[in-house]
């Protein structure tokens, strides 16, 4: 398999911010757009391997099912957590072996179980008795993982009210599975997405250990521990705290591995910080306050029916950053930010202190990769922003051993020199940036680029 998606190569010293400036100030771009930094995903994977070396990541596809993300993660060697027939199909389209997929939805539709059976995706979770009967009739040889409930005291998106058998009822459920002659191979949990209670992983791993022992008394020999998701993914967040708790608990409750394979289902961790969104202020309204002061309402071209659905569904909090640097030296006034649709609910931020912004200026939002695009709609005819994937040379070198990535994936043959040498491609059309041209001031920004082909690939000219 090869990558289907295009990546644009950047000079090593280029930042995501500079790319956003170039696109935004090209004079041709009006639509909101994303820049996806492939290097960010690669760095996350490095962090995972370093800090949780004993835990095999199964990327939770629902978090961001972009083909580009799945291809990069597959290249890096992660496995996958799918929750539906379509997610399984999408991952298998990449050539992923079914043994690297866990069907981690405790309540599955019959047609999806039949699909998994046909595809050979054997590992699947359950948390209730009727699910066991369903699996018994549709896929009796499935490898089952019991999902227990163990909630973080604080999480951005709690899941326990919907999924996970209460620990005190887990034993009886396993007895039922045993009497149905089903093959239960391990325990899973999900402490809640966006977990801010690292010690919960200790409690959950301890509860899982107890269930491993219970299962043995029933007659099962468990071999899989699945610690779910919940890991942070925003810029500046770190895996360190949770990793310390997880590694400590694994050493204590599963010393020397005990022949148990440990996996996790990170979603947010891998993608949140890789996506940066740029939105244009297309309209502006001045509001006179009672006390003689005034504030502004800014209308941007993406909202809660698009990328910012994360405000409603993912309980996200977003921070607008004015793209134009000079704007930050201005006096701050109160502003609210609104999406482009005609719905009053379509509000991106409440009152925030901002330099006064003008129509045609841009707000940038970081950490927009998790639980945003897959849920976005074109309600009211508003388009979903285009994603521009970029990678620098060192990132590509990390991916270069990957057979799925080849020269077709790069726009305008923008390959690094050392790859060029290997692939015998010419250096023409390579993208070079004049260091002088990186000023962020709109007025002084030159409207010509050393490589027009680069910017043509990115911008969406409006008629």
Ligand X SMILES: *Cc1c(COP(=O)(O)O)cnc(C)c1O
Residue 187 binds ligand X (CB under 6 A): no
In this structure, are residues 195 and 189 in contact, taking their beta carbons and an 8 Å threshold?
no
State whether the Cα torsion 452-456-459-463 is positive or negative.
positive
Rounded-to-integer distance, Cα 431 and Cα 38, Å: 17
Q: What's the min distance (Å) between Cβ of 162 and ligand X?
A: 9
Q: What's the min distance (Å) between Cβ of 351 and ligand X?
A: 30
Q: Which one among 7, 63, 337, 382 touches ligand X, defined by CB under 6 A? A: 63
Rounded-to-integer distance, Cα 210 and Cα 225, Å: 12
Which residue number, 65 or 214, has a Cβ lying nearer to ligand X? 65
Question: Which among 59-67, 93-101, 202-210, 292-300 is the span making contact with ligand X, rule CB under 6 A?
Answer: 59-67
Residue 62 binds ligand X (CB under 6 A): yes
Query: Of the listed 63, 82, 150, 342, which one is catalytic?
Result: 342
Q: What is the dihedral of CA 282, 288, 291, 295, to 10 degrees?
A: 0
In this structure, are residues 239 and 232 in contact, taking their beta carbons and an 8 Å threshold?
yes
Q: What's the min distance (Å) between Cβ of 70 and ligand X?
A: 14
Q: In 3-state terms, what secondary structure has residue 140?
A: coil
Residue 229 binds ligand X (CB under 6 A): yes
- Among 242, 278, 265, residue whose Cα is nearest residue 63: 265
Residue 228 binds ligand X (CB under 6 A): yes
Largest CA distance in the chain: 76
Q: Are strands 347-355 and 55-60 parallel, antiparallel or unpaired?
A: unpaired
Rounded-to-integer distance, Cα 103 and Cα 80, Å: 9
Question: Which among 57-65, 93-101, 399-407, 408-416 is the span making contact with ligand X, rule CB under 6 A?
Answer: 57-65
Q: Which one among 158, 164, 198, 230 touches ligand X, defined by CB under 6 A? A: 230
Per-residue tokens: 133:
């009967």
Rounded-to-integer distance, Cα 151 and Cα 160, Å: 6
Residue 203 binds ligand X (CB under 6 A): no
Q: What's the min distance (Å) between Cβ of 371 and ligand X?
A: 7
Interacting positions 280-319 with ligand X (CB under 6 A)? none
- Among 117, 221, 110, 111, residue whose Cα is nearest residue 101: 117
Q: Which one among 40, 81, 314, 393 touches ligand X, defined by CB under 6 A? A: 81
Q: What's the min distance (Å) between Cβ of 113 and ligand X?
A: 16
Q: Where are the extended beta strands (E) located within 261-341? A: 261-264, 275-288, 294-300, 321-322, 332-338
Q: What's the min distance (Å) between Cβ of 157 and ligand X?
A: 7
Residue 193 binds ligand X (CB under 6 A): yes
Number of amino acids touching ligand X (CB under 6 A): 16
Q: What's the min distance (Å) between Cβ of 189 and ligand X?
A: 9
- Among 343, 349, 345, 348, residue whose Cα is nearest residue 380: 343
Residue 116 binds ligand X (CB under 6 A): no
Taking CB under 6 A as the rule, which mask of x and - marks residues 238-267 in contact with ligand X?
Answer: ---------------------------xxx
342 is catalytic: yes
Residue 82 binds ligand X (CB under 6 A): no
In this structure, are residues 122 and 164 in contact, taking their beta carbons and an 8 Å threshold?
no
Token look-up 């680069």 returns: 454
Could you say which DSSP state residue 7 is in?
B
Residue 336 binds ligand X (CB under 6 A): no
Residue 190 binds ligand X (CB under 6 A): yes
State the residues that interact with ligand X by CB under 6 A.
60, 62-63, 81, 104, 190, 193, 228-231, 265-269
Indicate which residues carry an active-site annotation.
342
């Amino acid at each position: 398999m090869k990558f289907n998606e295009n990546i644009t190569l950047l000079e090593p010293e280029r930042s995501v911010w500079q790319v956003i400036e170039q696109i935004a100030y090209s004079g041709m771009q009006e639509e909101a757009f994303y820049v996806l930094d492939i290097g960010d995903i690669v760095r996350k994977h490095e962090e995972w391997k370093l800090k949780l070396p004993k835990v095999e990541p199964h990327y939770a596809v629902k978090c961001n099912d972009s083909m580009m993300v799945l291809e990069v993660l597959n290249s890096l060697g992660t496995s996958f957590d799918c929750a539906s027939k379509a997610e399984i199909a999408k991952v298998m389209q990449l050539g992923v072996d079914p043994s690297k997929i866990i069907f981690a939805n405790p309540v599955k539709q019959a047609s999806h179980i039949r699909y998994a059976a046909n595809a050979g995706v054997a590992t699947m979770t359950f948390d209730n008795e009727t699910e066991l009967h369903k699996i018994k009739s549709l896929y009796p040889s499935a490898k089952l993982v019991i999902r227990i409930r163990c909630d973080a005291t604080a999480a951005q998106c709690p899941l326990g009210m919907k999924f996970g058998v209460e620990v005190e009822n887990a034993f009886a459920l396993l007895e039922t599975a045993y009497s149905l002659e089903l093959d239960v191979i391990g325990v899973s949990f999900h402490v809640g997405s966006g977990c801010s209670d690292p010690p919960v992983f200790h409690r959950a791993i301890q509860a899982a250990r107890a269930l491993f022992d219970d299962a043995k008394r029933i007659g099962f020999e468990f071999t899989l521990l699945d610690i779910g998701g919940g890991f942070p993914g925003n810029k500046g967040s770190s895996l360190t705290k949770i990793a310390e708790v997880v590694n400590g608990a694994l050493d204590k409750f599963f010393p020397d591995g005990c022949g148990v394979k440990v996996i996790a289902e990170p979603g947010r961790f891998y993608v949140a910080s890789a996506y940066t969104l740029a939105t244009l202020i297309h309209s502006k309204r001045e509001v006179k306050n009672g006390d003689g002061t005034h504030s502004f309402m800014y209308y941007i071209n993406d909202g809660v029916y698009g990328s910012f659905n994360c405000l409603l569904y993912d309980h996200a909090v977003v921070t607008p950053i004015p793209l134009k640097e000079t704007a930050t030296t201005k006096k701050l006034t109160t502003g609210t930010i609104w999406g482009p649709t005609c719905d009053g609910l379509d509000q991106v931020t409440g009152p925030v202190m901002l330099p006064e912004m003008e129509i045609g200026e841009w707000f940038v939002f970081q950490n927009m990769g998790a639980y945003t695009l897959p849920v976005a709609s074109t309600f009211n005819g508003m388009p979903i922003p285009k994603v521009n994937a970029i990678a620098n040379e060192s990132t590509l070198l990390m991916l270069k051993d990957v057979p799925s990535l080849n020269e077709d994936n790069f726009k305008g043959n923008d390959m690094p020199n050392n790859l060029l040498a290997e692939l015998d491609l010419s250096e023409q059309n390579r993208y070079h940036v004049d260091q002088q041209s990186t000023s962020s001031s709109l007025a002084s920004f030159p409207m010509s680029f050393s490589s027009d082909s680069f910017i043509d690939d990115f911008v969406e000219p409006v008629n």
